[in-house]
Amino acid sequence: MSRYDSRPGDPASYRDRKSDSGFGGGSSYGGGSGRSSSERRDQSHAGGSPRKSDLDGLTPFEKNFYVESPTVAAMSDREVEEYRLRREITVEGRDVPKPVLSFDDVGFPEYVMQEVSKAGFTEPTPIQSQGWPMALKGRDLIGIAETGSGKTLAYLLPAIVHVNAQPILAPGDGPIVLVLAPTRELAVQIQQEATKFGASSRIKNTCIYGGVPKGPQVRDLQKGVEIVIATPGRLIDMLESHHTNLRRVTYLVLDEADRMLDMGFEPQMRKIINQV
């Protein structure tokens, strides 16, 4: 049996554990990409990524889960421009999707909406309104927003949807989602949100940072977790000690990337990203 075969009696993917996988179920994920990690990474080899020969046999993954709602589709260019102006949203890039006006427009699965309702949110913040369609489409995205703007959920809720669409972790697999953060304090805050909003999906996470004993962190990694939130130095330590690997990471977040660069983490960031 190959490393990524599901074990007898186990669900093949996270969506098999729930009756409501969201976004239409099955493989009708709004034209979702069926490319494998190895195919995607080989295309970026010129930028320093590993060679395709190093990445053969990686688990295929889906990354496009967004289906534009009729309400959003009906918005004219002028209405989109007025909405962005009113909410102080500025966008750059190609084929930028329209912002969503409400949680219903995003099409989040019921298990995600349950957590949103519990938290008492009434409408998306500006970065969520524009960021969710991009993240759910599997697009690369740079988001700039003030503290308290809801940026953590802008990437965490799509991350949860992403995890639930992937083949289930096999023994020895590393995480599916990796969030890098500059400090222990921020990493712990992110983990608290990941725990709260991933609860209904039974998604496991762990927080990896220096200054504390490695034992509990190593045990979490060896048991298998879908989401890892980490500071760069301790994560490299874990990778070099072979306590985890990044072969299954298909959703990468650099939280406060500018601050990590200012703190001199660029070499560590490059070392980590080259394994993703």
Residues 148 and 109 in one domain: yes
Residues 30 and 85 in one domain: yes
Query: Domain containing 39: what range?
Result: 17-165
In a domain, 69, yes or no: yes
Residues 143 and 221 in one domain: no
Q: Tens digit of pLDDT for each residue in 198-217?
A: 888 889 999 999 999 999 99
Q: Which of 150, 165, 180 is the last residue of a domain?
A: 165
With a cut of 70, say whether residue 136 has pLDDT above it.
Answer: yes
Query: What mean pLDDT comes out for the span 232-239?
Result: 97
In a domain, 65, yes or no: yes
Distance between CA atoms of residues 41 and 133, nearest Å: 23
Residues 174 and 271 in one domain: yes
Query: What mean pLDDT comes out for the span 4-18?
Result: 50
Q: Which of 165, 188, 204 is the last residue of a domain?
A: 165
Residues 57 and 76 in one domain: yes
Q: Are 170 and 3 in contact (CB under 8 A)?
A: yes
With a cut of 60, say whether residue 35 has pLDDT above it.
Answer: no
**What are the strands of the beta sheet with 251-254, ordered from one edge?**
205-208, 227-230, 177-180, 251-254
The domain tally of the chain equals 2
Residues 103 and 148 in one domain: yes
Q: Which of 111, 140, 165 is the last residue of a domain?
A: 165
pLDDT at 54: 54
In a domain, 11, yes or no: no
Q: List helix spans (H) across 119-214.
A: 126-136, 151-164, 184-198
pLDDT at 13: 64
Residues 230 and 93 in one domain: no
In a domain, 38, yes or no: yes
Query: What mean pLDDT comes out for the span 38-61?
Result: 50
Residues 146 and 76 in one domain: yes
| Phi, psi (deg, nearest 5) at residue 178 | -125, 125
Q: Which of 41-55, 149-163, 202-216 has the lowest mean pLDDT?
A: 41-55
Contacts of 197 (CB under 8 A, 6+ apart): 112, 115, 116, 119, 153, 156, 157, 160
Q: Are 190 and 179 in contact (CB under 8 A)?
A: yes
With a cut of 90, say whether residue 59 has pLDDT above it.
Answer: no
Residues 109 and 34 in one domain: yes
Distance between CA atoms of residues 49 and 275, nearest Å: 7
With a pLDDT cut of 90, the percent of the chain lying above it is: 67
- Among candidates 243, 238, 224, which has minimal Cα distance to 271? 238
Residues 35 and 126 in one domain: yes
pLDDT at 17: 54
Distance between CA atoms of residues 269 and 185, nearest Å: 18
Q: What is the rounded average pLDDT for all residues in the chain?
A: 83
pLDDT at 199: 85
Confidence category of residue 5, pLDDT binned at 50, 70, 90: very low
Q: Which of 52-66, 155-169, 195-209, 248-262 has the lowest mean pLDDT?
A: 52-66
Residues 149 and 248 in one domain: no
Residues 216 and 155 in one domain: no
In a domain, 77, yes or no: yes
| Phi, psi (deg, nearest 5) at residue 176 | -95, -35
Q: Which residues pair with 265 in a beta bridge?
A: none
Distance between CA atoms of residues 204 and 206, nearest Å: 7
Confidence category of residue 55, pLDDT binned at 50, 70, 90: low
With a cut of 80, say whether residue 101 has pLDDT above it.
Answer: yes
Confidence category of residue 7, pLDDT binned at 50, 70, 90: very low
Q: Is residue 273 classed exposed, middle or buried when 0-12, 13-18 and 19+ CB atoms within 10 A define those classes?
A: middle
What is the CATH classification number for the domain harbouring 205? 3.40.50.300
